[in-house]
Amino acid sequence: MLWEERWHPLREEWVIVAAHRQNRPWSGEVVQTPAKALPAYVPDCYLCPGNMRVGGRRNPNYQQTFVFDNDHPCVGPDAPADLEKPSGIYRHQPAQGIARVVCYSPKHNLTLAELTPAEIEVLLHTWQDQYRDLGARPGIDHVLIFENKGEVVGVSNPHPHCQIYATNFVFKYIETEARAGQRHLAETGRVLFQDILAAEQADQARIICQNDTAIAFIPYFARYAYEVYIAPKATHPSLAALADPEVRDLAQILKRVLVKLDNLWQMSFPYVMVLHQAPTDGKTYDGFHFHIEFHPPLRKPNLLKYLAGPEIGGGNFLSDTAPEEKAAELRAQAEVHYKSVQG
Ligand SMILES: [Zn+2]
Ligand SMILES: [Zn+2]
């Protein structure tokens, strides 16, 4: 029985772990998993090569990754700069920045899990270029790279892609992690994330896989059932700072984890994936250790983790699962994608 509260050192908050409740009776909504096979090319997909997008731009016949400015940006250079002053204590600023889309591959039906490690490596280099390019621009304080995958997280177009928000502010979780890391460094002389890696290596129970320079694990303080962290073992403020062999190792670990996630329930595993990289606001972030976080919304096949009173109302997570158990489940999964076995 696991029933305790665990401290999340990066977010500086408590997580209530009540794993003894996992099998309590449930009569709520279950998610239907569409199993229909997709074609490699869809004539009316706005992400497929050669197709027309809204606004009249045509995609090139791209062969690997393809990056373009989002046609419906949430932050953009055209956001109004002449704003009316709000009353009293209220503050505002122009919603300026750059929003981009990155297609992983010309194939409409190839998810990140189904790309080869070499293709994932190409994508990682694309992300490096984007972080360097956008982060160096004046007024861009942070570059958030993320993928929403699956209908349960609201993705309407299944063509595998991620998004980039380069903003004039630092996203909240990054700001919190950066502050926690800086304080830890000042107090102990050590990098906070290195202390997390040391604790995970000491326990072993939550490690999913690793190679020479990269590691995947479900952290002790995980909020979601299958919340996997993937990181280089050496401290780098961003993906852009990784040497080529480290990028190759990271691509290999990503591939292994993504295949395991898909194999778990023999379905394309939905998630929110986010790269946590240091801000690009010109300050130094010595204690910041780049990592990738997966926040999968399902805790069982077809069963959503609902955010409710504790999470939405109070701001702390209630987890129904033991990270040790979930990590063991993923460790046990094969590393050959189930579709390639069937196919
Ligand atoms: Zn497509
Ligand atoms: Zn993080």
The pLDDT, as a whole number, for residue 143 is 98
Q: CB of 114 within 8 A of CB of 74?
A: no
Sign of CA dihedral 77, 79, 83, 89: negative
pLDDT in tens, 179-196: 999 999 999 999 999 999
Output the CA 46–ligand 1 centroid distance in Å: 6
Q: How many angstroms does the Cα of residue 177 sit away from the middle of ligand 2?
A: 7
Furthest C-alpha separation in the chain:
63
Cα dihedral 292/295/299/302 (nearest 10): -110
pLDDT at 159: 96
Predicted pLDDT at 175: 97
Average pLDDT score over the chain: 94
pLDDT at 45: 96
Which residues are in the CB-under-5-Å shell of ion ligand 1? 42, 45, 47-48, 108, 159
44-51: Cβ within 8 A, 24+ apart:
45/108, 45/157, 45/159, 46/71, 46/157, 47/101, 47/103, 47/108, 47/157, 47/159, 47/161, 48/106, 48/108, 48/159, 49/106
Higher pLDDT, 154 or 61: 61
- The ligand placed nearest to the CA atom of residue 66 is 1
- Segment 90-103 mean pLDDT: 97
Q: How far, in Å, CA of 17 to CA of 309, rounded?
A: 15
Question: What pTM value is reported for the model?
Answer: 0.96
Ligand nearest to the CA of 157: 1
**28 has pLDDT over 90:** no
Query: Is residue 98's pLDDT more than 90?
Result: yes
At 288-342, the pLDDT tens digits run: 999 999 999 998 888 889 999 999 999 999 999 999 999 999 999 999 999 988 6
Neighbour-count burial for 154-166, b at 16+ CB within 10 Å, e otherwise: ebeebbbbbbbbb
Tell me the CA–centroid distance for residue 155 and ligand 1, in Å.
13
Interval between CA 199 and ligand 2 midpoint (Å): 16
Residue 99 predicted with pLDDT over 80 = yes
Least-confidence region, from 111-115, 119-123, 300-304, 305-309: 300-304
Percent of the chain with pLDDT strictly greater than 70: 95
Tokens representing 41 are 């090319």
Residue 33's pLDDT is 61
Catalytic residue among 8, 161, 236, 291: 161
Ligand with smallest separation from the Cα of 59? 1
Beta bridge partners of 216: 209, 230
Report CA(265)–ligand 2 centroid distance (Å). Answer: 26
- What is the rounded average pLDDT of the residues 30-50? 84
* pLDDT at 172 (0 to 100): 97
Averaged pLDDT for residues 264-284: 96
pLDDT of 100 over the 80 cut? yes
**pLDDT given at position 55:** 81
Residue 251 has pLDDT above 90, yes or no: yes
Residue 204's pLDDT band, with cuts at 50, 70 and 90, is very high
pLDDT of residue 31: 62
Amino acid at 120: I
> For residue 23, what pLDDT is reported?
65
Is 161 one of the annotated active-site residues of the chain? yes
- Show the CA angle centred on residue 194, arms to residues 193 and 198, nearest 5°: 120
Q: Which ligand is nearest to the CA of 192?
A: 2
